[in-house]
Structure 1
């Protein structure tokens, strides 16, 4: 039987808590604040670090901004309240290069990116983790709702106990080496319990609402960010049907994603139209009926395999989530040349978009995942 390494009173580390330094990534929100406070209460040598990821002056004017402005101030107040040292590190240039620029490029390719995964993959779990080690920490703790468990073949990443709060989809790119150093004190708690703990611990952010938008995207306007970074992002183009017949025109492919139904701007059809494909080079958006979205084979790149047992030539039966909000679907994954994978779905799925992640599960365990680069329908009769 597997034993959970995470709890609110033990991180599974050797030595007494007082002799064990833990760096906590403090975003200024309730979750990371509670994680820091719980570890401090248990007696760990806690150091709080907040990353300034983009322009402080602009962000302080926005409500709900993450990793800048008000959040930095809130993290500092929490650190003062619980009595731990707190540092703000300027990672703005790293974040811009690794996350924001990649985000813009992805949209220009006709993809639908997930910048939060890239942020965890690069800035937080690569650069910040390295900084934590330089500070002499035995672990880096975060407020993510995932679980880290000891398995027969090594440390495993699992979904949170509270399905409604699970963030494992966004952490699929965590490497085994990073997972050995990371700790997730809240993985076994429901959000309601975290709120209660924040109140009991008298944290100044106890009533603070959760952030909803991507931190650097004001008011959810992706097009505004991309068009500022990439001139020509809003160049017009054609909207065509599956046969190539022009149905209308658009003002930039970055306003569309595979599977989109609303906002296409084409009326007068008998059945609803969906975005089926985006041809970035031709600035063309292809639309069609929902049946045209059916796919049962998915191609991914940069497969990150977390399970201690190798994937092998024969592949592995699993479940796969193709978007964060969608339920997992039965599938089989097989490795492909170049570090990618091919995922065959038992039943066709709709709206599979390049740029999103395909995250593989065995029950609650995260086996790994990769970035979707394409998909196809093997059996046309099932569409």
Structure 2
């Protein structure tokens, strides 16, 4: 009987289930305290002057959520605090004055926002991880939606990466570069809203892939530990009990994909334990598929945003052309000034295509590793079962 079957037959009490997640609880609390400290630094640097009622509410909600480990309150407080830190001065200033983000980053200090967004992303990721683990151990106690991978954490991490990118990239420009490099640098540092939207969306996708890669590393560690446990029992002359190893040694990691795949693989080979639901879990991981579907839905938006920026730029350039282009009019019409900036209009398409290529390659590499991990789980479970 594997971990899934053991959980179904003997439902743990809340205290027993929560004791397995002690490390996850402390991780969420530490990141929450770090976010509160970084948010206070932002308020001390001038953020409290803007909407002080919102600032006080964010602090109260986040502190209450961290103390009680209430996922809704904690998640809401962190998201609200992150939005508040980005509103002033960047978003409000960009909307009121029309300045691009790259110019605002060069004009205002960004270290408070860097701290807030970075720690907020890690706090949201760890909170989502804990919520999913608690749901996996006690499904009937779930009071809200759960997700294997947070959708808000990549957005917060993308905000951090965008600010850092605009802060560092101008200093990395090489003077006297070639025409190709100049075009790429000009596209990356574009000053329009479409340029900034493509950069932000690119980092959202890359941050989602990064969080998925962290989960993949945790799965690899579980598989390595499972193999060591089996080898240790063989060295002691004992017959490895695969279900007991999963239940006893990897109970805190029961929510990880590696344990779910190993458990489903063992159930699939045991006619007495196999059920259609467990076999479905082996062939199709719905939680991971939902997270991956979100990332895949963002990829087509990168070239589409680039094409949209080009269409807007071309429409503007054509509207600025002289209206009297008839040669019989007897006037010499110079359209070179109107056509001089047409090359710039294609920068967004270039930027969207580059971002889409990089994200597709990174996602393909990650999915290759994940497919290999699923095959490893099947082979490890089959080899350990045959060697008993």
The verdict on a shared fold, with TM-score over 0.5 as the criterion, is no
**RCO higher in 1 or 2 (8 Å CA, sep ≥ 6)?**
2
More helix by share: 2
Question: What TM-score, normalized by structure 2, do the two folds share?
Answer: 0.24
Question: What TM-score, normalized by structure 1, do the two folds share?
Answer: 0.24
Greater Cα radius of gyration, structure 1 or 2? 2
